[in-house]
Amino acid sequence: MQKDSATPSLAHFRLLSDAMEELCSARTQEEVVRISAMLAHKACNVDSISIVLTSGEQFHYAPASKPDSISQAVRSKVIVRMSELVVETAQTAVVPDIHRDERTRSHTNGSTFARSLVVVPVGGRVPFAAITYAWVQERWPAATDVLVLEALARAAGLALVYRLGQSHSETDEHDSVNQWLESAADAEGLRGPERQQRVAAAELQHRVRNVLGLVRSLVRRTAETSASTEEYAEHLEARISALARTQGLAMRRLAEGIDLEELIDAEFIAHAVREGKVASAGPVVRLSVKAAETLALALHELATNAVKFGALSTPEGRITVTWRMEVDREDPCVRVEWIETGVLSCPPQPLRRGFGLDLIERTVPYELRGGSRISFEPGGVHCVIDIPFTRDNVLSDPPASVE
Amino acid sequence: MTEVPSTDATQHELAGHLVLVVEDDYFIAEEICAALREKGASVIGPAADVEHGRLLMARQPLDCAVLDVNLHGEHVFELAGELRARGVRSIFATGYDEPFLPTAFRDAIYLQKPIDLAALIRAVKESSRGNRARHN
């Protein structure tokens, strides 16, 4: 590499100062990402950028490409792997060819959208994100390019922190707890990222303690309704696992909510249900963590019952889970239907009394202000759960009302 | 009351107490209510949100209230203020640290989640004292 190429020119400074100004005008995180991508394209011919936050959130933008190649970049394991690496080392990484680089070779996975990368950590000594600049072709970026991209990344990082904080308070305007936490952080004299961190830490602590409280009551209630130690251990373990799965889904997608289909799939996967035994279908619905927790435990009780006495205990048994938006009614809701078929003697045994039934028929009305009905039909258990379409429960937008 | 340990006394140490419970988690609410009832208290609720809590509060003279701080993203302090205006003390059950709690309620009893049920019973006794004296 030539020495003089490492000296940024006046044009570079010009570009960077313009960049700062443009980034300051961004109104949303997505705009920060889009503007950053445009600037990087202008400065260094970058084909796409990806921002991976340590919280798991990701943003991707390719100024001049088709949407399908963006989604390919989104799924790129290479980008996620490299982001984790640079956040850990707090140092920029240059990967001229992902197929030949030791750090990426085993993760390329056939993805060819990005061939060459510059990955920059942002957030100082303790990075909170990594920005990946990618080129479709193999490329040995000049030292100046790396310097310019580092500067762009830092500017984008600052803009992002600022927007992250702003969009938080904008989207959560209805959320009085958030406002209260923020004003408490203000009272401590905290500003910027520190203030955000304080609020986030308080929120996390609150969640963890709540989950511990929930686990403790599960331990107690399961003990009260189990006949033997073996049954107790088995039920408790399964219930805690169901709770843990929901937490896992929640942490990955805190902002946009938990996908209802993923939640249902996770429950069936946990019960090692064979393909063809179950079918699920419905529109995209994103639930709040709270609604997902309540529904996950309800689905778990239904699945457990199906394994013991219902459709998953007989070769002919099938389960169909469908959901739809019921918007043309006074109290719009997402209606989830669990229908078992092929269960010959019905009911072979009543659904476990106590905890299981308690959970489905009492938690849904109490926690979600919704409704739930369980009936024993000729083919097997039939359960209907209505989740009211409120901001507390459902984060995705309601569909346009049917004309 | 004499200090003679008696099962009756501990079993009914909250006999006649009217306690409002506001908590949005079904299982935690059930746990709190069961613990209070076991000691002889009459539980009003549980209510899962501020609105329901407010309805229940208006119906009868309470001895104290056990309130979860965060109810579906809505904080409970306004309700606590209304209760205080009626002379009812609140016990806060929360996963948040004390520095985050408003100064207006710094004199209240805070119970960290998961709640220590023995501490809850003591807190209810403690917070009801003034009110019970007025009722009698």
The residue to which tokens 């006495």 are assigned:
A309
Q: Is B100 on the interface with A (CB under 8 A)?
A: yes
Chain A: give the shortest CA distance to residue B37, in Å: 16
Compute φ and ψ for A5, nearest 5 degrees: -70, -15
pLDDT at residue A218, as a whole number: 78
pLDDT at residue A60, as a whole number: 79
- Closest Cβ–Cβ partner in B25, B94, B96 for A214: B25
pLDDT-based confidence at A118, cuts 50/70/90? very high
Percent of chain A residues topping a pLDDT of 70: 83
pLDDT at position A388 over 90? yes
pLDDT at residue A338, as a whole number: 95
CB A367 within 8 A of CB A296: no
Mean pLDDT, chain A, as a whole number? 79
The structure tokens listed for A362 are 């009492």
pLDDT in tens, B18-40: 999 999 988 889 899 999 999 99
Secondary structure (DSSP) of B105-126: GTTSEEEESSP-HHHHHHHHHH
Helices A229-252 + A289-308 axis angle, to 10: 140
Query: How many degrees, rounded to 5, is the angle at CA A283 between CA A277 and CA A285?
Result: 105
Q: Is B111 on the interface with A (CB under 8 A)?
A: no
pLDDT at residue A266, as a whole number: 86
Chain A: give the shortest CA distance to residue B129, in Å: 28
Give the chain B residue nearest A218 (alpha carbons).
Answer: B27
Mean pLDDT, chain B, as a whole number? 84
Least confident of A87-96, A110-119, A277-286, B111-120: A110-119
- Closest Cβ–Cβ partner in A188, A207, A209 for B114: A209
CB within 8 Å: A176 and B74: yes
The structure tokens listed for A336 are 């989830």
* Domains, chain A, with CATH or none: 4-171 (3.30.450.40), 253-388 (3.30.565.10)
In Å, the largest CA–CA distance within chain B is 45
CB A260 within 8 A of CB A347: no
pLDDT at residue A308, as a whole number: 82
Chain A residues within 8 A of B111 when measuring between CB atoms: none
Secondary structure (DSSP) of A304-348: HHHHHTSGGGSTT-EEEEEEEEE-SSSS-EEEEEEEEE--SSSSS
The structure tokens listed for A315 are 């070769």
The residue to which tokens 């202000």 are assigned:
A369
Which CATH architecture fits B15-115? 3-Layer(aba) Sandwich (3.40)
Secondary structure (DSSP) of B42-91: EEEEEESSHHHHHHHHHHS--SEEEEESEETTEESHHHHHHHHHTT-EEE
The structure tokens listed for A43 are 């400065």
pLDDT at residue A167, as a whole number: 45
